[in-house]
Structure 1
Amino acid sequence: MEDYTFPSWIYLAVLTVFVGGATKKILASHLSPTPVMVAWLGVTVLVERLWAICIPALLVLVLLGFVCCLYAAVRTRPSSRLPAEGKAVFITGCDSGFGNATARHLDVLGFEVFATVLDLSGEGARALQKNCSNRLTLLQVDITEPQQVNQALMETKAKLGLKGLWALVNNAGVCVNFGDTELSLMSNFRGCMEVNFFGTLSITKTFLPLLRHSKGRIITISSPAGDQSFPCLSAYGASKAALNLLFNTLRHELAPWGVQVSIILPSSYKTGHSSNQAYWEEQHRTLLQTLPKSLLEDYGEDYLSETMELFHSYARQANPDLSPVVNTIVEALLTPQPQPHYFAGTGVGLMYFIHSYLPFSLSQRFLQKLFLKKKLPPRALREKSSLELNLYNNNNNNEENDGSNNNKAMVHI
C-alpha cells in the first residue's frame, strides 16, 4: 500500500483539477450539466483503469453523480420572479419577429412597453396598436440614425417622468447577405456592422444614464454565429461577434452601477427576411450583377445558386414558434439574478458543448453538416479536378500502350 500512496495523491490532485475545471466551465457558460458530466465520468473511468491504483472507480462515479444531480436540482428549482407591473422596458426592432412577439407578450404581463419600429404605418406596428393596451408606446426609430435615437430618449423620459427604465432589450438586427466571404460585397459587411453593432451600441450608450439610475438591465439578442464560424455567414457573424464582445465587456464595466447584462443566443427561427424567398432572390440577382467577371467564372453561377437554395431550405426548416425566445427574455427581465448568457431553442446547448469540448476539426465538420451541406465545389476547382483526372487517365493509357508495344517487340524478336 505504501507504494501507492504518492501516485494516489497525484491522481487525486489531477482529478480535482479536471473536475474543478469542468465545473467552472459549465458554470461560466451555463451549459446543461448532464452531457458534460457524462463525458467527465467517462474520462474518470478511463483514468482509473489506466492508473491502476486502489481508489475504486465506483466511489468516484457515485461522488460525481451526486454532484451532478445536486447541481441540476439547484438549477431547475423554481425561483421567485419579480413583479412585472410598473416596470418599463424599451425594445428595438418590433416590426416583426422576436421584437413584435416580445412587445405583445410583455404588454399582456403588465409591463410598460416602449416599442420601436421602422415604419409606424407598417403591418407590425398596426398589429401592436390594435392588440396591445395603452401602456404600449410605439416609436419610429432607425437605430442607425442618431437624431431618431435621441428623439426616442426624450420621448421616453417625458413619458416615464420620475419612474425609471427597468430594461433595454436590444433586438433590432439584420442579415443582409449569404455566401462566401470572397463573394460578399463590402456593402454587406458594412450594412451588418452598421445595424447589428454600431446601431445597437448607439441605442445602448444613449439609454445607459436611465439604466444606471434605475440599476436596470440590458438584454441583447445575439446569435451563435457570433461565436462559431457558420459557413457563408461571415458578414453577419462578424457583426454578432463584435456585439458579443461589446456586451461581455459592458457586463464587467456596469457591475459597479448595479446594471446587469445578459446575452440571448437563439437557435434557428423564422424571423424577418429569413423566410422571404423573394427578398433573397433579389439579393442573389444583385450579387450576380455586381460580382467581378473573374470571380463569377472561378466560382460559377451554379455554385452561387446552390448556396441560395441551401439557405432557403435551411430557412424553411426554421422554427416558426418564437415563444422559447420570448420566454427567455421574460426570464432575463424578471429573475432576481439573470444569467450572463441564455440559450434559447433546441440544439443550441449541444452546439456550444461540441464547440467548447470537442476538437476543432470535429466542431467545424459538425457546423458544415448542420448548416449548409454543400455538394458542389467552385467551378475552377471542378475544372482543375477534371483536368488532373484526364491527365492521370492519359498517363495510364500511355503506360499501357508502352507496355503493349514492348510485349509486341519482344514477341517479334
Structure 2
Amino acid sequence: MLRDKALMKNQIWRRVEQQLWAMGGYALSRQVPKFAGQNSLHGTIIFSSVILVLTFSSILFGMPKDAEPNVPGEIAFYLPPVIFAVPDIETSIYFDNICLVVNPSNYVFDVNCDKGIQQSERWTFLPTSKDIGLYSLVIEVRDEINRIIARSGTMIKVVPKDAGAYQKRTILMIGDSLTQYSIYPRHLLDLCKGDTNPTITLIGSHVPDSNCPFNRHEGYGGWTAKAFATRYTGIARIGDYRKRGSPFLYQDVNEEPKFNFGRYCVEFNNGKKPDFVTILLGANDIFYANDGSIDRIIDEMLAHYDKLIKMLHGFHSDTKIGVLLPLPPAASQDAFGVNYGCGQSRWQYKRNQHHLVKRLIDHYGNREIENVFIVGTNVAIDCVHGYPPNNALHPSEYGYYQIGDVIYSWIKAILDSKS
C-alpha cells in the first residue's frame, strides 16, 4: 500500500513537471519533486493542481490584450505550440510558411509580441542574454478592409546560451534526402562546439561522406515513414545505401523482419538509448497527393510514424523525440518546373504540406509528457532566399542552416537546467 502511494506520488510530480516545462514554468517545475518527496500523496495532489492553475493563468493573462490564442478564419493558419530560441541565434517566423494562401502579399500580417521585429515577410528575433524567458506571440491576418480573418498564437521560449554546457548527449536523426544531404546535421555539430554547449555525438549507420565520419544519421533519399517501418531488402546498415532496407529491421528467430531497436543501439550506440531523436519525414509521403487523397495518405503515414515512435520508446521512454514539421517548398513555381515539368505544381504541393503540418500538430502536439515534442522547422526557413532557383524541395546551405538552428535551440531548451 505504501509502495503504491509512493509510485502514484512519483507519477504525479513527473506529469506536473513535464506540463510546467511545456508551459514555461521554469523554477517552479523543479519544486514539484522536492515537495512530493516531503509530503503526503494528498498534499502532493493539491500542490500539483494549484501550481498548474497558477502557471497556466500567468501565461494566459500574459497574452496580448483582446488576443484570443486561435481564431478559426477564412484561411488555414497554424503555428507550433512553442518556438525555442537561444541568444545570438536568429529566430524567425515566415508568414507565407504558416498560412495557406496563393499570394501572401494580398494580406496584412500583424504581430503582437514584446520581442523581435516585424518585417514585410516575417517576424524575426535575435535574442541576447537579457531576453531569457517566455513570451507570448500572436499573429493576426487582415484583409484589405482591415477585417481579421485569422489569428493564431504561440510561445517564444528563450533559454540561456550555456544551457546544457558540458553535458554529453547522443542524437539519432531519421529522415529522407533532406537528412541524407547531411548539411543540417553538420551544422548542428558545428553549433555545439565551444564551452557553452553540450557535447553531442550523432549516431547512425549512414555516413554519406567518409571524410566526415562523425556526421552520421539515418537519412535516405526518397524514403517515407512506411519505408522505415516496413522496407526489408536483406541488406541494411552497410553497403550501397540505395539497396538498403530499414536500419531498424532485423530478422527474428522465425527469419521474419521485425523492429529491434535494442540491437540497433548495441551496434551504433554501445547499447545505450539515444538521448534525442529527430524525425523529418513527409515530403515523399505526400508528394503526389491531391485534395481528394491527402487525408488517406496522411493516415497511412501517421500509422507508420506511430510505429517508429513506439519502437523508440519501447526501448527507452526517456528518449526525447522531436517531430520536425515538414518544410514548405521553394517560393517559386519555376523551381517545380525545372524539377518536375508539369508533374506537380507548387500550389498543390504546398496544400499537401500545409495539411500535413496541421495533422502532425493535431496528432503529436501536447505530448511533452510522453517526451514527444513538436519542433517548428517549417516556420523558420526562408523559402525565397533559402532555396536555389533550380530546386523545389531541397534548400540551399543557408536554408539547411536555418533547420539546424531550430533543432539546436530545441535541444538547448530540453537541456536547460532552469526549465
State the TM-score, normalized to the length of structure 2: 0.42
Q: Report which of the two has the higher share of strand.
A: 2
Please say which structure displays the higher CA radius of gyration: 1
Specify which structure has the bigger relative contact order, considering alpha-carbon pairs within 8 angstroms and separated by 6 or more residues: 2
Q: Which is richer in helix? A: 1
